[in-house]
Amino acid sequence: MSLVLGIETSCDETGAAVYDSSSGRILSSVIFSQISMHAAFGGVVPEIASRSQLEKINPIVQEALSQASVTIDDIDVIAVAKGPGLVGSLFVGLCFAKGIAWSRNKKIVGVNHLEGHLFSSFLKSDLTIETNITFPHLCLSVSGGHTALYLVKGFGDYQVVGQTIDDAAGEAFDKIAKVLGFAYPGGPIIEKLAQQVNCQDFFKYPRTKNIGGDVFFSFSGLKTAVLYDLVKRGAYNLNTGPVQESLTLELKQQVASSLLACISDVFVNNVKFAFKKYPEIKCLTFVGGVACNKFLRQNLNQFCLQKNKNLFVAPPQFCTDNAAMIAFVGGYKHLNGYSDDFSLDVGL
């Protein structure tokens, strides 16, 4: 048995998980989410985030150990998210991990947060590991902070196929939800509103097009297009904000639905482009918080079926930030003889 304690504190979630890397089983995964603490501010406040991490890290780690029915003595290695993320939040997890590693003489392994997401589609809802994902494969990684397509050749061996040149897709959901008067995070409410009108494309917002042989994403122009369309409809005033009489539920549903349809088209189009570029690829994984979205999953799945490729998406609890993905990657690195020393630092 080789037990890994995973620690994830890169943003506004405190996560701890225990993973048995020899049997490939997740024994526990616990998350404390700060969403309600940031809702009033329309986004994550770094100072509040790091203070909350400090308060929660010990009880969340204890809870993960207890749910896995193990003690800290049973743990072989500590895998900790080292970035990118909010530096203050990352420091809490890293210092905690170093403290345990030093005082209990455990190995420590730093894991890149994005690398954690990249492998989260290996984590199944029955807490075992997916064995049908072949290398190389494509990974569409989409969250509030990043949007990119990677060619994943193996653990530690990745190539960026295309990434956003401005905002992340999750950020577009969050910012447009804010314009419509909703709190952070915007993705789930946009999905709910869109479902109420069957995810139809009412307004046909502009889609980015790949030029030449390059794949790229861009969502900043889309944000502006939605905003100015609302201004034109008299539902938003650039000086005073939403115009409540004009910003009806019907209009909110139509905006949310058109936004989702637009982002879905961009994803499918870019995946199509990447499949053409790498015809040998057999499967696509879809990861990050935005991969919770059922409409996006369905459309990508439909497209993959047409192209005779397989789509793998993790259950929602492993799409958003979690420590199981950190423990999984850390466990792999440890089994392959890798460990860090106490000079391990947070990186951006």
Residues that bind Zn ion (CB under 5 A): 143, 321
The partner in contact with residue 188, picked from ligand KG4, Zn ion, none with C-beta cut-offs of 5 to 8 angstroms by kind, is ligand KG4
Cα distance between residue 251 and residue 255, in whole Å: 6
Minimum CB distance to Zn ion, residue 141 (Å): 9
The answer to whether residue 174 forms part of the interface with ligand KG4 (CB under 6 A) is: yes
* DSSP secondary structure string for all residues of 251-275: HHHHHHHHHHHHHHHHHHHHHHHHH
DSSP 169: H
Minimum CB distance to ligand KG4, residue 175 (Å): 9
The answer to whether residue 217 forms part of the interface with ligand KG4 (CB under 6 A) is: no
Main-chain dihedrals φ then ψ at residue 203, nearest 5 degrees? -105, -5
User: Taking contact as CB under 6 A, which single stretch among the options 76-84, 185-193, 238-246, 270-278 is the one that binds ligand KG4?
Assistant: 185-193
Closer residue to ligand KG4, CB minimum distance, 33 or 62: 33
Does the bond joining 59 to the residue before it have cis omega, within 30 degrees of 0? no
The answer to whether residue 289 forms part of the interface with ligand KG4 (CB under 6 A) is: yes
The answer to whether residue 24 forms part of the interface with ligand KG4 (CB under 6 A) is: no
The partner in contact with residue 290, picked from ligand KG4, Zn ion, none with C-beta cut-offs of 5 to 8 angstroms by kind, is ligand KG4
Minimum CB distance to ligand KG4, residue 278 (Å): 25
Closer residue to Zn ion, CB minimum distance, 79 or 193: 79
Cα distance between residue 253 and residue 265, in whole Å: 18
Closer residue to Zn ion, CB minimum distance, 109 or 168: 168
Enumerate residues 302-321 that contact ligand KG4 by CB under 6 A.
320-321
User: Taking contact as CB under 6 A, which single stretch among the options 31-39, 44-52, 236-244, 286-294 is the one that binds ligand KG4?
Assistant: 286-294
Distances (CA, A) of 316 to 89, 121, 288, 291, 297: 23, 10, 9, 8, 11
Q: Which residues is 127 bridged to in the sheet? A: none
Angle between helices 169-179 and 220-232 (to 10 degrees): 20
Check: CB of residue 282 under 8 Å from CB of residue 135. no
Check: CB of residue 133 under 8 Å from CB of residue 120. no
The answer to whether residue 8 forms part of the interface with ligand KG4 (CB under 6 A) is: no
The answer to whether residue 15 forms part of the interface with ligand KG4 (CB under 6 A) is: no
DSSP 111: E
Closer residue to Zn ion, CB minimum distance, 75 or 169: 169
In which residue are the tokens 């419509």 written?
A: 180
Closer residue to ligand KG4, CB minimum distance, 97 or 290: 290
Cα distance between residue 218 and residue 16, in whole Å: 33
Distances (CA, A) of 341 to 83, 105, 296, 328: 16, 12, 41, 19
User: Taking contact as CB under 6 A, which single stretch among the options 30-38, 60-68, 139-147, 307-315 is the one that binds ligand KG4?
Assistant: 139-147
Q: Which helix (H) or strand (E) holds 300?
A: helix 294-306
The partner in contact with residue 340, picked from ligand KG4, Zn ion, none with C-beta cut-offs of 5 to 8 angstroms by kind, is none
The answer to whether residue 144 forms part of the interface with ligand KG4 (CB under 6 A) is: yes
Cα distance between residue 148 and residue 151, in whole Å: 10
Q: Which residues bind ligand KG4 (CB under 6 A)?
A: 11, 143-145, 170, 173-174, 185-188, 191, 288-290, 292-293, 320-321
